[in-house]
Amino acid sequence: MCGTLAGAFMAAGLVLGRNQAAEDNRALYKVAQQVHSGFLSEMGSSGCRELTGLDLRTREGARQLYESDVHERVCQRAARVATRLVSERLTAAASD
Residue 72: Cβ within 10 Å count:
9
Cα separation, 18 vs 43, whole angstroms: 29
Q: What is the pLDDT of residue 28?
A: 94
pLDDT by 10s per residue, the chain, length 96: 999 999 999 999 999 988 888 888 899 999 999 999 999 999 999 999 999 999 999 999 999 998 999 999 999 999 999 999 999 999 998 887
73: three-class secondary structure by DSSP: helix
Q: What is the pLDDT of residue 41?
A: 98
Q: What is the pLDDT of residue 95?
A: 85
96: three-class secondary structure by DSSP: coil
Contacts of 64 (CB under 8 A, 6+ apart): 54, 70
Cα separation, 8 vs 80, whole angstroms: 11
